[in-house]
């Protein structure tokens, strides 16, 4: 179970949080609004300085090799900590698993609900706080978005945002999951991000359609919230 749990989190990180995938249909929107490169630079700096936030990732439809249908967590970088819950597809049923990242270890009750297991150093499986790491996190991923284009503005959960499309290297994105693909397997994939119009210009939402009929959405909120994680065992 320890190996399978690690694979689940790593896949979720790479396929969902890292937004790796190909859109099933290209956008037909035209460019309008503020300069995309400027907005991305502002968001890059904001995300590199962000120390905590609430993350929610949902999967609509079937995505190959992705067993997690939802992941919701409060994550902090200084000190590294996280608490959350994942919904995982097990056969024809779904199972909820709580998770805690504290004192450098990852804990979960995926094996038996209510019974916590220490899965060892989080860095050996997946350290959720890497999302907010200045060198490897979301700020770094935004800084490497290629051919960005502003395609309009939208309201996301009450926040006015600038919508930007572009492409990214799967090697760069994989850093969010603590791994890099072999150069011969590197691909360029489309990405769409929604960035707050107000200062600080945080990343508010990102979305992909990895296969026709499916959708993966990541939404961030509660920027700078206090996150406390205590080991359960």
pLDDT band at residue 179, thresholds of 50, 70 and 90?
Answer: low
Cα separation of 92 and 83, whole Å?
27
Domain ranges of the chain: 2-221
Task: Return the minimum-mean-pLDDT range out of 4-18, 54-68, 97-111, 219-233.
Answer: 4-18
CA 91 to chain centre: 25
User: What CATH code would you report for 2-221?
Assistant: 2.50.20.20
Determine the pLDDT at residue 157: 94
Which pLDDT belongs to residue 26? 36
Task: Name the DSSP letter for residue 200.
Answer: S
Percentage of the residues of the chain whose pLDDT score is greater than 90: 36
d(CA 157, CA 144): 26
Question: So what's the pLDDT on residue 127?
Answer: 67
Give the chain's count of helices (H) and strands (E): 4, 11
pLDDT tens digit sequence for 47-71 = 999 999 999 988 888 776 667 788 8
Per-residue pLDDT reduced to its tens digit, 4-30: 444 445 445 444 444 433 333 333 344
What's the rounded Cα separation, in Å, for the pair 169 and 144? 8
């Amino acid at each position: 179970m320890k190996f399978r749990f690690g694979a689940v989190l790593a896949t979720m990180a790479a396929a969902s949080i890292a937004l790796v995938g190909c859109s099933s249909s290209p956008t037909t929107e035209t460019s309008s609004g503020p300069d995309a490169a400027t907005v991305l630079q502002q968001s890059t700096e904001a995300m590199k300085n962000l120390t905590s936030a609430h993350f929610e990732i949902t999967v609509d439809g079937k995505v190959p090799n992705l067993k997690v249908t939802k992941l919701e967590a409060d994550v902090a970088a200084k000190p590294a900590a996280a608490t959350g819950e994942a919904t995982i597809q097990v056969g024809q049923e779904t199972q909820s698993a709580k998770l805690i990242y504290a004192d450098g270890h990852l804990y979960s009750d995926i094996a038996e609900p209510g019974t916590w297991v220490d899965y060892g150093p989080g860095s050996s499986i997946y350290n959720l706080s890497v999302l907010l790491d200045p060198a490897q996190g979301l700020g770094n991923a935004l800084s490497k978005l290629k051919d960005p284009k502003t395609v309009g503005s939208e309201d996301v959960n009450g926040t006015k945002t600038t919508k930007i499309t572009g492409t990214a290297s799967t090697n760069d994105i994989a850093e969010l999951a603590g791994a890099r693909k072999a150069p011969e397997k590197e691909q360029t994939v489309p990405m769409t991000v929604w960035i707050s119009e107000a200062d600080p210009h945080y990343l508010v939402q990102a979305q992909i359609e990895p296969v026709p009929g499916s959708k993966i959405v990541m939404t961030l909120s509660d920027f700078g919230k206090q996150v406390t994680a205590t080991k359960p065992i």
